[in-house]
Chains A and B, each alone.
Chain A
Amino acid sequence: MNKGLLRYFGKTVARMLLLLVAVSMISFFLVNNAPMNAVDAFLGEAKVTDEQRALIEERWGLNKPPLERYLIWGNNVLHGDMGESLYYHQPVSKVLKEKFLSSIVLMGTAWILSGLIGFVLGVLSGVYRGTWIDRIIKTFSLVLASTPVFWIGLLMLVVFAVELQWFPLGLAAPIGKSVNDVTLSERIHHLVLPALTLSITGIANIILHTRQKLIDVMESDYVLFAKARGENLKQLVTRHGLRNIALPAITLQFAYFSELFGGSVLAENVFSYPGLGSSAVLAGLHADAPLLLGIALFSALFVFVGNLTANIIYGIIDPQIREGGGING
């Protein structure tokens, strides 16, 4: 690795870490400003005296100024302690880990599906611009782009779970089965609908971007020249088109981590899929501040990893970054 590349990576990482800190601060203050009272939520129906309440507040550090509380919380987080989930009565880090493992299967499947299908359809649409294929794909994407994810989920449920009964109504496994007994095929059976729903969220965006990018490339001077040198459509697309849209496509695919996470919250709720998204909603509705904060931070980290990966891949693939601007010869 050369110096320029190292500096590029260093700058990217530093900037993103700074962002992560800022995000954690904002989330912390938003959650702690909420009118919901974590102590009430913790105590539930239990009757306590004011002194006991004050004791709990002190133990949680609720009587300290916000900045100090943030620093204590931040310090704990850095040491791997994200507090205790009030809803699950388990350490937040444990809940996050468990739920994320379930979510990543869903998000990963949807990510790969939408990336592949979106890219292929986008390329097809761009290559055959103006033909009926393009028109169908374009209309499909434009409509899809303004369709609510959760509604698509509901339609999927109606058609494939209720009417056709091909797939179960929800959850990640059959009800009443212990985790160890669930077979792989049962898991897949439960995964299909949520994964399809979630992949549809991102697909429109990927198609439209890929299409536009490919059209731009195919109208570029260098493709004109390649055409003038006798390359046919197939050669133009494979030699120049795909090469030049690969980078933006990869960036888009990783930048889409953010939308993917948001979409998974909706998809998991429609299908009662027990992942991070369902937990986020439950945490909010049950005033589970530590868990909510943990999930917010985790989602930011997730987006962060996506962007970082995109930047690293960019640095490795793009010769203009990789080789620097040296002129010799």
Chain B
Amino acid sequence: MEKEILLEVRHLSIGFESYNAKVEKVIFNAISDLSLTVHKGEIVAIVGSSGSGKSLLAHAVMNILPDNARTGGTMFYKGELLTPERMNRLRGHEIAFIPQSVAFLDPLMQVGEQVVGTLGEKARALQQKAFEHFGLKQSVAKLYPFQLSGGMARRVLLSTSYVAETEMIIADEPTPGLDLKIAIEALKDFRLLADQGKGVILITHDIDLALHVADKIAIFYDGRVVETADTQTFRGDGQGLKHPYSRALFHALPQNGFNLQRCPKCGATCATWNVDEKGMRCGCGNS
């Protein structure tokens, strides 16, 4: 049975305007033609290397890109066109975003206060529950961000989405800095939320982690999703994977023997090859 589509991103492109050394206006294309679908009850992991612009996808959906960003493409939420205005109404109430670092917390506000945010009295009770859930002492609520360790900050950020009780969660690298137990706990939470019919986008550079909880894995490379595959296809021999880059990624996994495909002609590892929607080639011209 086909589940209801929660969020659909069609042909998203993001560019940034700036001025080059000749004081000419230029656009830097960070994401081009990215499509993605999230169904209810599903965790979709977006996997790509660090610094490849995955976070921008989250920022684009939340409509919090900087002023000089230019976006293209369309988005739909619950079957309706997701305009920036509609997003501004939905964010925080229907869609929650979990950012990736402590820099996203106001340095001059106590973290308990920040977790509650502008969500009112109900959130205040939930904040205490959230802290308990993620193993934070209640006294942490009175601390300022600079007093938190990396792991504590991450748990505070997770608490913000716990409090919001939204239909959908977009989590940007939610686990680094957490010890394994809490990390697994956090991922279990996402699973639990998904099983309740919510949608989760998990942005990560850790494919192994994604394999643990995600239903679908979108392989992100150089500003686009080269392939979206069911987590199942990453099990066994990986032959279900269509794109050579995904296959190369699959073979490079520890449980699959750490194999790096090499160019038969010049011997360069596939990590340095050029990738596009059709396939991947080594720079030396051999395919």
In B136-194, the 8 Å CB interface with A consists of 136-137, 139-140, 143-144, 146-149, 152, 160, 164
Residue of B nearest to A220 (CB): B103
In A290-319, the 8 Å CB interface with B consists of 318-319
Contact of A231 with B92 at beta-carbon distance under 8 Å, contacts A221-B99, A326-B147, A329-B136 already known: yes
Contact of A221 with B62 at beta-carbon distance under 8 Å, contacts A229-B164, A329-B139 already known: no
Q: Bits for B104-136, please: 1 = Cβ < 8 Å to A, else 0.
A: 111111000000011000000000000000001
Interface centre among A220, A235, A240, A329 (most CB of B within 10 A): A329
Q: Bits for A214-254, please: 1 = Cβ < 8 Å to B, else 0.
A: 00000111111111111100010001100110010000000
Residue of B nearest to A318 (CB): B108
Q: Would A240 and B91 count as touching, CB distance under 8 A?
A: no
* Contact of A325 with B by CB under 8 A: yes
* Contact of A165 with B by CB under 8 A: no
Select B91's contact among A227, A235, A323, A328, beta carbons within 8 Å.
A227
* Contact of A1 with B by CB under 8 A: no
* Contact of B96 with A by CB under 8 A: yes
User: Taking the nearest CB of chain B, how far is it from the CB of A37, in angstroms?
Assistant: 57
* Contact of B235 with A by CB under 8 A: no
Q: Would B59 and A224 count as touching, CB distance under 8 A?
A: yes
Q: Would A228 and B136 count as touching, CB distance under 8 A?
A: no
Select A219's contact among B66, B92, B107, beta carbons within 8 Å.
B66
Q: Would A228 and B92 count as touching, CB distance under 8 A?
A: yes
Total B residues in contact with A, Cβ cutoff 8 Å: 34
* Contact of A320 with B by CB under 8 A: yes
* Contact of A327 with B by CB under 8 A: yes
Q: Would A222 and B148 count as touching, CB distance under 8 A?
A: no
A37 to B118, CA, bound (A): 70
Select B117's contact among A224, A226, A318, beta carbons within 8 Å.
A226
User: Taking the nearest CB of chain B, how far is it from the CB of A249, in angstroms?
Assistant: 13
* Contact of B101 with A by CB under 8 A: yes
Q: Would B139 and A226 count as touching, CB distance under 8 A?
A: no
A-B contact count (CB 8 A): 84
Residue of B nearest to A246 (CB): B108
Q: Would B109 and A243 count as touching, CB distance under 8 A?
A: yes
User: Taking the nearest CB of chain A, how far is it from the CB of B125, in angstroms?
Assistant: 18
User: Taking the nearest CB of chain B, how far is it from the CB of A135, in angstroms?
Assistant: 16
* Contact of B97 with A by CB under 8 A: yes
Interface centre among A130, A235, A239 (most CB of B within 10 A): A239
A224 to B67, CA, bound (A): 12
Residues of chain B within 8 A of A247, CB atoms compared: 108
Residue of B nearest to A240 (CB): B106
Q: Would B107 and A329 count as touching, CB distance under 8 A?
A: no
* Contact of B86 with A by CB under 8 A: no
Residues of chain A within 8 A of B266, CB atoms compared: none
* Contact of B81 with A by CB under 8 A: no
Contact of A222 with B136 at beta-carbon distance under 8 Å, contacts A228-B91, A229-B91, A327-B147 already known: no
Q: Would A229 and B117 count as touching, CB distance under 8 A?
A: yes
Q: Would A323 and B99 count as touching, CB distance under 8 A?
A: no
Residues of chain A within 8 A of B143, CB atoms compared: 329
Q: Would A329 and B92 count as touching, CB distance under 8 A?
A: no
A209 to B160, CA, bound (A): 33
A153 to B99, CA, bound (A): 53
User: Taking the nearest CB of chain A, how far is it from the CB of B221, in angstroms?
Assistant: 25
Residues of chain A within 8 A of B78, CB atoms compared: none
* Contact of B212 with A by CB under 8 A: no
In B72-99, the 8 Å CB interface with A consists of 91-93, 96-97, 99
Q: Would B103 and A329 count as touching, CB distance under 8 A?
A: no
Q: Would B91 and A319 count as touching, CB distance under 8 A?
A: no
User: Taking the nearest CB of chain A, how far is it from the CB of B262, in angstroms?
Assistant: 40
* Contact of B253 with A by CB under 8 A: no
A244 to B101, CA, bound (A): 19
Contact of A235 with B118 at beta-carbon distance under 8 Å, contacts A229-B92, A244-B108, A327-B147 already known: yes
Q: Would A323 and B144 count as touching, CB distance under 8 A?
A: yes
* Contact of B271 with A by CB under 8 A: no
In A85-122, the 8 Å CB interface with B consists of none
Contact of A323 with B160 at beta-carbon distance under 8 Å, contacts A222-B106, A244-B108 already known: no
Contact of A230 with B64 at beta-carbon distance under 8 Å, contacts A222-B107, A244-B107, A323-B147 already known: no
A256 to B266, CA, bound (A): 66
Q: Bits for A124-158, please: 1 = Cβ < 8 Å to B, else 0.
A: 00000010000000000000000000000000000
Residues of chain A within 8 A of B108, CB atoms compared: 243-244, 247, 318-319
In B6-51, the 8 Å CB interface with A consists of none
Residue of A nearest to B109 (CB): A243
Q: Would B146 and A325 count as touching, CB distance under 8 A?
A: yes
Residues of chain B within 8 A of A239, CB atoms compared: 106, 109, 118
A147 to B143, CA, bound (A): 46
Task: Show 14 A/B contacts (Cβ-Cβ < 8 Å), sorted by A.
Answer: A222-B103, A223-B106, A224-B59, A225-B97, A226-B106, A227-B62, A229-B92, A229-B117, A231-B92, A235-B118, A244-B107, A247-B108, A318-B108, A329-B137
In addition to A244-B108, A329-B139, 14 A-B residue pairs with Cβ atoms within 8 Å of each other are A222-B103, A222-B104, A222-B106, A224-B59, A225-B104, A227-B64, A228-B99, A229-B160, A231-B92, A239-B109, A243-B109, A247-B108, A326-B147, A329-B136
